[in-house]
Amino acid sequence: MAEDQTSYVHIYTIVFLTLLFTFGRMMPFLILSGQLCPPGIEGTLFALFMSINNLSSTLGSFLGAALTSALNISSVQFDNLALGLAVQLMGTLLPIGFLFLIPRDVTGLTSGYRPDHHFFWTGLVCIP
């Protein structure tokens, strides 16, 4: 691939991943949180959630580095890689256990399946 085409691939990848993060992960969360918060404080709540998101990203990086150091995983030694991936998977799936805290009337979910309604699934949030 030519060097000028490589730069286009990099730009496309960055733009695509940014859009995927924004619309695939954060947008359903922001819509749900906007429905949960009292009127008039949506901006404050958005700033709070973005701060929490940045803090969790930073803590996740530090904890990931500590985990690889504790398990002695390096660029040349992969003996405990499976254990490290299992711990990461458990940490990723842990928030699913707290989904019951979201009020059912805000999510648009009902107790039973109704075939006359079509839902758009994004991540763990169902948007009617």
Report whether 28 contacts 108 (CB < 8 A): no
| Within a domain: 107 | no
| Within a domain: 17 | yes
Q: Which of 11-20, 57-66, 119-128 has the lowest mean pLDDT?
A: 119-128
| Within a domain: 37 | no
Checking if the pLDDT of 126 tops 70, the result is no
For residue 109, the model assigns a pLDDT of: 63
Model confidence pTM above 0.75 = no
Rounded-to-integer distance, Cα 111 and Cα 74, Å: 48
| Within a domain: 8 | yes
State the pLDDT confidence band at 121, using cuts at 50, 70 and 90. Answer: very low
| Within a domain: 1 | yes
N-to-C CA span, the chain: 44
| Within a domain: 22 | yes
pLDDT tens-digit readout, 54-74: 898 899 889 999 999 999 998
| Within a domain: 105 | no
Total number of domains constituting the chain: 2
Checking if the pLDDT of 128 tops 60, the result is no
Report whether 30 contacts 49 (CB < 8 A): yes
Domain that holds residue 66: 59-70+79-95
For residue 122, the model assigns a pLDDT of: 47
| Within a domain: 39 | no
